Chains A and B, each alone.
Chain A
Amino acid sequence: EIVMTQSPATLSVSPGERATLSCRASQSVSSNLAWYQQKPGQAPRLLIYGASTRATGIPARFSGSGSGTEFTLTISSLQSEDFAVYYCQQYNNWPTFGGGTKVEIK
């Protein structure tokens, strides 16, 4: 099983600031990496797939980068609706998710 490790567990950011979330895989997953956003009481929403491709309807302030074992999700200027939990997921093998990063208001 490929283990996905996200850091930090919690990120405190002020609205309008940049947020950088990290995800590390225990072995290479090539570019088979997705990012999801989940708000309380809601289902996850796909943000990024293929490590860097934005899903349909996702604002340009969300960007993904990386390949192999190291990945980053960047939110360029946090909006109020962006405060949520973010999960990375690899699908190079049977899918596994990271433990999540909670982005909270500073």
Chain B
Amino acid sequence: QVQLVESGGGVVQPGRSLRLSCAASGFTFSSYGMHWVRQAPGKGLEWVAVISYDGSNKYYADSVKGRFTISRDNSKNTLYLQMNSLRAEDTAVYYCAKDLGYRGRDAFDIWGQGTMVTVSS
């Protein structure tokens, strides 16, 4: 079945780095844009980043621009989020989500279960 499975979350100190992964299955991963969305504890949803189907276009929320990098490996059906210079306000559940389209400019029809990132000293 169509599935996204995130991994790589954990507890990290402020200023350190972490890389999240999202393994896709059940659909043609290389044909769709992909997103990262986060949700701080008890809060709403915040879009983080998007990458087009072929990785040629990437865009970021202002809150993470210059610190986070989204990438994908279509040969491995995997999406990544490299998070550097982490701050306490980056603490959240991070979800990967599949876009309905190839550019990453549509709604998100499939979501992973999320991985928790806690930034704390």
The answer to whether A binds B is yes
Q: Say yes or no: A46-B47 contact (C-beta < 8 A), given A94-B59, A94-B61.
A: no
Q: Say yes or no: A46-B108 contact (C-beta < 8 A), given A94-B59, A94-B61, A95-B35.
A: yes
Contacts of A38 in B (CB 8 A): 45
Contacts of B112 in A (CB 8 A): 43
A44 CB-CB contact with B under 8 Å = yes
A-B contact count (CB 8 A): 55
- From A55, A94, A96, A100, contact of B109 by CB (8 A): A55
Q: Mask for B96-121, Cβ within 8 A of A = 1, else 0? A: 00001000011111111110000000
Q: Say yes or no: A96-B47 contact (C-beta < 8 A), given A34-B108, A46-B107, A49-B107.
A: yes
A46–B109 touching, CB < 8 Å: yes
Q: Mask for A71-105, Cβ within 8 A of B = 1, else 0? A: 00000000000000001010100111111100000
Contacts of A89 in B (CB 8 A): 45, 107-108
A91–B46 touching, CB < 8 Å: no
Nearest A residue (CB) for B106: A91
A61 CB-CB contact with B under 8 Å = no
Q: Say yes or no: A97-B109 contact (C-beta < 8 A), given A43-B95, A43-B114, A49-B100.
A: no
A45 CB-CB contact with B under 8 Å = yes
B41 CB-CB contact with A under 8 Å = no
Measured CB to CB, the residues of B under 8 A from A are 35, 37, 44-47, 50, 59, 61-62, 95, 100, 105-114
Nearest 10 CB-CB pairings of A with B: A49-B107, A34-B107, A43-B111, A95-B47, A97-B45, A46-B109, A99-B44, A100-B44, A44-B111, A43-B95
